[in-house]
Amino acid sequence: MREIALDTETTGLDASSGHRIIEVCCIEMENHVRTGKVFHTLIHPERDIPEESIRIHGITLDKVAEAPLFAAIVDELLAFIGDSTLVIHNAEFDIKFLNAEFTRCGKPLLPLSRAIDTIAIAKRRFPGSRYSLDELCRRFSIDLSARTKHSALIDTDLLTEVYLELVGGRQARLELAPGDGVADLAQNVVRIARPRPIPLEDRLDAGEREAHARFLAAELKGDIVWNWPSPEALAPAAKAN
């Protein structure tokens, strides 16, 4: 199962008002394990970067002066993500920005259904809590020391850690899967029934017991397994023969 953790940094909060992507990062996972393959680039937004956005991510026009335009990296980005599921924190935000860029480039749009939103998972697991990436990292004791500002590269790295904690990917080998040594051991566990400290009251009256005895005698001709002699009872007879 191939999944791509993805994050972007942008010039602002609203793609429909002309704000653009200035950084994108993707990290590949196979079966909830990072493969080491990463796609990351800064992008020239072809517009100014407001000061309030720079305070969040620290990316100025000077830093992206030599960066490629989105149109120059779009094919490489699409090839990297392929048809894999996208893991995104606040998926609607990033998908809107990506689709605005894809529209400018004449590329097919990404459906929101392609994405797993880690905020949605966190809301189900921890209702009433805070769901920012910082808060989830603190909840799972994930090191945040490198995150002095927002960065698609750093945030995607943290996102993979948070996602694996949310879905239990770190404990995958503890699942009792067929062929797993732990599963085989579990199947061989013998559970010993303990007698009740106080026996249950007899629920049959004398008439019911008599009717049951008549049924056994008539239908089974008295050949009833619990009336067979035990091996211990048969042992003396066997020795005599």
Distance of CA 195 to the CA centre of its chain: 42
Task: Determine the residue type at 181.
Answer: G
CA 32 to chain centre: 8
Phi, psi of 109 (to 5 degrees): -85, 155
Based on the residue annotation, tell me whether 89 is a catalytic residue of this protein: no
H or E stretch covering 172: none
Q: Tell me the C-alpha to C-alpha distance, in Å, between residue 30 and each of 48, 57, 101, 110, 127.
A: 38, 29, 27, 21, 29
Pairwise CA distance, residues 128 & 203, whole Å: 51
Which is catalytic among the residues 19, 57, 89, 150?
Answer: 150
As annotated, the active-site residues are: 150
